[in-house]
């Protein structure tokens, strides 16, 4: 069995870590490249499944929010009326319902995940704007802005991560979807 020093020395040599001291502050760890640093920060075996879970969760949320809430609960005429009460054109309700429904389906499938996630961010900013005057907590009358803010950030993170595991392969879709985590078998975080 190796002693602790040998284990640490082996780790340092294996991961190309350099030590240096900054004006007596003690040793600092410096990695030679960004890839070496991120390799230790992100688990490339589980990251695609984290992106998958986020992608499917966002997709389900968008579909439920558009089809259930806006179409079934509020009805389409009620949603149009609500948009108009905010000073928005009535037809924008149809655009939002369509974008949330199609975007939710695309996210669930992992179809152009990055582009779809970023395309849905302006809709989430709109929701954030609608709820901004109601306070922080979403349990407040009219719903606060904590949930729309969280969903906005989650969509941005999804756009940065890409499709994850079980996404429609990017090689079949062209350059817009390339670089997604797990979008094809060769990709790495």
pLDDT in tens, 10-36: 666 666 555 444 555 555 555 556 666
> Which token pair is 85?
């009460």
pLDDT at 21: 44
What's this model's pTM, rounded to 2 decimal places?
0.72
Asked whether 15 and 31 are in contact (CB, 8 A), the reply is yes
pLDDT at 188: 40
Asked whether 151 and 127 are in contact (CB, 8 A), the reply is yes
User: How far is CA 156 from each of CA 13, 40, 83, 165, rounded to the nearest angstrom?
Assistant: 36, 23, 25, 18
Asked whether 177 and 171 are in contact (CB, 8 A), the reply is no
Question: How many whole angstroms separate alpha carbon 143 and alpha carbon 131?
Answer: 6
**DSSP codes joined into one string, 63-129:** HIIIIIIIIIIS-HHHHHHHHHHTT--THHHHHHHHHHHHHHHHHHHTTTHHHHHHHHHHHHHHHHH
Report the half-sphere exposure of 17 (CA within 13 A, side-chain side). 16
For the stretch 121-136, pLDDT in tens is 999 999 999 999 888 8
pLDDT at 27: 53
28 in the Ramachandran plot: left (φ > 0), alpha (ψ -120 to 50) or beta? beta
Burial class (CB in 10 A: 0-12, 13-18, 19+), 77: exposed
Q: Which residues pair with 21 in a beta bridge?
A: 27
| pLDDT < 70 stretches in the chain | 1-40, 170-189
Question: How many whole angstroms separate alpha carbon 4 and alpha carbon 1?
Answer: 9
Question: How many whole angstroms separate alpha carbon 162 and alpha carbon 111?
Answer: 10
pLDDT at 69: 94
């Amino acid at each position: 069995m190796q002693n602790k020093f040998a284990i640490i020395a082996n780790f340092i040599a294996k991961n190309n870590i350099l030590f240096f001291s900054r004006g007596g502050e003690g040793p600092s760890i410096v990695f030679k490249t960004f890839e070496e640093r991120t390799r230790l920060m992100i688990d490339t075996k589980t990251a695609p499944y984290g992106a998958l879970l986020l992608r499917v969760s966002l997709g389900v949320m968008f579909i439920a929010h558009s089809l259930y809430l806006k179409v079934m609960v509020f009805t389409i005429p009620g949603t149009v009326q609500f948009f108009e009460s905010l000073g928005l054109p009535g037809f924008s309700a149809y655009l939002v319902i369509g974008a949330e429904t199609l975007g939710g389906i695309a996210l669930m499938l992992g179809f152009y995940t990055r582009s779809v996630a970023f395309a849905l961010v302006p809709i989430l900013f709109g929701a954030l704007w609608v709820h901004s005057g109601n306070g922080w907590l979403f349990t407040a009358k009219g719903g606060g802005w904590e949930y729309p803010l969280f969903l906005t950030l989650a969509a941005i993170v999804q756009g940065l991560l890409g499709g994850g595991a079980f996404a429609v392969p990017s090689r079949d879709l062209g350059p817009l979807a390339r670089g997604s985590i797990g979008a094809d078998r060769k990709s790495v975080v």
